[in-house]
């Protein structure tokens, strides 16, 4: 059995692990996410209570220039009370295709247009213990620069960095956004296939 087969087998539902939903109670609804509490039956028959954040998900783009540098945008993150540098990204609107949303966010935040279809390189759940929020990460290395058209709510600054430096900055705790760390490793592995 290959390792990939082993992983596929491990992802099949297993009654020794599955929790069965019994009752879901909505707790709070906002514009961006909602909160539910779900009562579940655990595999041993006992009852559990799970707190869940429901979110429509997001998308991001690893945009790599001809010189190998990747695009980052400076963000002020209210949730963290600090600046971050992140790959261009945003929320997926209800009903919107993930790749379309990624291309839209890319042009809105940076003015960059991919001249090839975006290639998905990861589906990333940041906190699967409590939320279904999923970030789809795309890769683009055929880019054309157009004008930036920031959203009313977005105030961003673009910079370009060597993916290996972004990886090093994640090891140093400077780059802390999950999708950006993943994107830097993806870009690095493409530049230097081992």
In angstroms, what is the minimal distance from the CB of 5 to a copy of itself?
10
Lookup: tokens for 25: 């109670």
Complex with a copy of itself: residue 100 or 151, whichever CB lies closer: 151
| 96 vs 152: CA distance, rounded Å | 20
Nearer to a copy of itself, 113 or 136 (CB): 136
Q: Which is nearer to a copy of itself, 113 or 165 (CB)?
A: 165
Q: Which is nearer to a copy of itself, 148 or 167 (CB)?
A: 167
CB of 103 to a copy of itself, least distance (A): 19
Q: Encoding tokens for residue 69? A: 């540098």
- In the bound complex, what is the minimum distance in angstroms from residue 153's beta carbon to a copy of itself? 7
Measured in whole angstroms, the distance separating CA 38 from the mean position of its chain's CA atoms is: 25
Which one, of 129, 121, 70, 119, lies nearest residue 99 by Cα? 119
Rank residues 58 and 103 by Cβ distance to a copy of itself and give the closer one. 58
Which DSSP string do the residues of 75-97 spell out, in sequence order? EEETTTTEEEEE-SEEEPPTT--
Nearest-approach distance from CB 162 to a copy of itself, in angstroms = 5
Cα distances (Å, whole numbers) of residue 187 to 33, 54, 91: 31, 30, 22
Task: State the minimum distance, in angstroms, from the CB of residue 104 to a copy of itself.
Answer: 16
Helix axes 178-191, 163-171, angle to 10 degrees: 130
């Amino acid at each position: 059995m290959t390792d990939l087969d082993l992983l596929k087998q491990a992802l099949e539902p297993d009654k020794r692990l599955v929790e069965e939903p019994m009752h879901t109670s909505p707790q709070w609804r906002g514009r961006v996410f909602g909160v539910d509490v779900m009562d579940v039956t655990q595999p041993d028959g006992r009852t559990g209570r799970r707190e869940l954040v429901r979110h429509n998900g997001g998308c991001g783009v690893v945009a790599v220039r001809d010189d190998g540098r990747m695009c980052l945008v400076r963000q002020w993150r209210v949730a963290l009370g600090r600046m971050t540098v992140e790959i261009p990204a945003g929320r997926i609107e209800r009903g919107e295709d993930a790749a379309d949303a990624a291309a839209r966010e890319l042009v809105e935040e940076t003015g960059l247009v991919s001249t090839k279809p975006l290639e998905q390189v990861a589906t990333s759940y940041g906190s699967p213990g409590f939320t279904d929020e999923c970030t789809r990460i795309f890769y683009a290395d055929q880019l054309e620069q157009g004008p930036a058209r920031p959203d009313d709510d977005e105030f961003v600054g673009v910079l370009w960095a060597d993916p290996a430096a972004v990886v090093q900055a994640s090891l140093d705790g400077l780059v802390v956004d999950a999708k950006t760390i993943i994107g830097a490793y993806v870009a690095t592995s493409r530049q230097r296939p081992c």
